[in-house]
Amino acid sequence: MGLFLKSLLFTVLVPGTFAVLIPYRLGLRRSGLPRLWTAQHYVSLLPFAIGAAISLRCVCDFAITGRGTPAPIDAPKVLVVGGLYRYVRNPMYIGVLLVMLGWAVFFNSAAVVVYAAGGALLFHLFVVLVEEPRLRRQFGEPYQRYCSAVRRWLPGTPYQGNS
């Protein structure tokens, strides 16, 4: 199975469940589907589209540049520091959070906002406690230089180095 197909499968199953299925069901339970769309529903399309585009771009970067997938069991073999990763270290998580926030806006749901905040906390803990130590062991000094130059969560100045 090709890298892109494996990446797409993982993305549909894991982030898709976490960012689409669960918040959709949570929002649906609270308010149901709207009969007519209002401005709020159209506004929700913006974080959906941006989040989905970010996630898809990251999946492509992992497959093409990193020669791996977003799945920890088939992680990239090459350090990915290009594309959106030039600006922020964790764009895929940001994309997933944007999709979750799209659902919060769509359903006008505080429950989905709380769910997204919990997801953000879990992402942060996973990145700090699992991903970053593993990447330091795997890529060493190039990853350390990258971490020194690129922020974890807020986009900043583009990374000029290479792995």
pLDDT tens, 138-163?
999 999 999 999 999 999 999 998 65
Domain ranges in the chain are 3-149
User: pTM for this one?
Assistant: 0.90
Local confidence band at 4 (pLDDT 50, 70, 90 cut-offs): low
Q: Which class is domain 3-149?
A: mainly alpha
Taking residues 44-73, what's their average pLDDT?
89
- Whole-angstrom CA distances from 27 to 30, 31, 36, 60 are 5, 6, 16, 30
Residue 13's CB is within 10 A of a number of other CB atoms, namely 12
Round to whole Å and give the CA distance between 131 and 79. 13
Encoding tokens for residue 16?
């898709």
- 152 phi/psi in degrees, rounded to 5: -70, -45
Say what the pLDDT of residue 95 is: 97
**Interior CA angle at 74 toward 120 and 97, to 5°?**
20
Look up tokens 């199975």; give the residue: 1
As a whole-number percent, the residues of the chain with pLDDT over 70 amount to 96
**Angle ∠(69,128,150) on CA atoms, nearest 5:** 75
Q: What are the counts of helices (DSSP H) followed by strands (DSSP E) for the chain?
A: 7, 0
R_g of the chain computed on alpha carbons: 17
Q: ∠ CA 23-27-33 to the nearest 5 degrees?
A: 125
